[in-house]
Structure 1
C-alpha cells in the first residue's frame, strides 16, 4: 500500500475529523479511501452513460413516431 501525506485547510480537516467521530469511519484514511472509491464508481457510471448518449446520437434520426417506438418496446 502506498502512503500519501496531504495538507488540508482547517475547515476540511475539521470536516474529516467529524466524519471519523460519527463512527462511520475508523480514521481519516478510511474516509478518504471511501471518497476515492465512490468517485471512481461515479466516473465509471458517467463514462458508461456518455457512451450510451454517443451511441444514440450516432444512430441518427428515426423514421418511426414516438408512439411506434413506445409500442415496439412493450412487445
Structure 2
C-alpha cells in the first residue's frame, strides 16, 4: 500500500492531546494516531450504513404485528428445557 504525505494544522490543545497519546504509549507517532482516527471513523460510518439499511429493510418488510410476549416467553422456556 502506498503512503501519501499530508500536512495538517492543529490547535495547541489538539497537538498537546496527540503528544499525550504518543507519550502514554498508545501510539508510536502522530501518523499512527491519525490513521487510527480515520479507521475508527470509517468503521463508524460502515456501522451507520448497516443500521440504516436494516431500518430501511424493516420499514419495507410489511405491516408491523404486535408482539405476543407470552408466546415469546413460552418459546424461550421450551428452548431452555430442550438444552438441558
The reply to whether TM is greater than 0.5 is yes
Give the match for residue 16 of structure 2: 14
Number of residue pairs the alignment of both structures matches:
73
Could you state the TM-score of these two structures normalised by the residue count of structure 1? Answer: 0.84
Point out where structure 1 has 5 or more consecutive residues left out of the alignment. none
Distance in 1, matches of 2:64 and 2:17, equals 51
Computing the radius of gyration from Cα coordinates, the structure with the larger value is 2
Q: What are the within-5 Å matches in structure 2 for residues 1-75 of structure 1?
A: 1-63=3-65, 65-67=66-68, 70=72
Which structure has the higher relative contact order (CA within 8 Å, separation 6+)? 1
Point out where structure 2 has 5 or more consecutive residues left out of the alignment. 80-84
State the superposition RMSD in angstroms: 2.1
> Secondary structure at the residue paired with 1:66?
coil
Cα distance, 1:60 vs. partner?
A: 2.7
Could you state the TM-score of these two structures normalised by the residue count of structure 2? Answer: 0.75
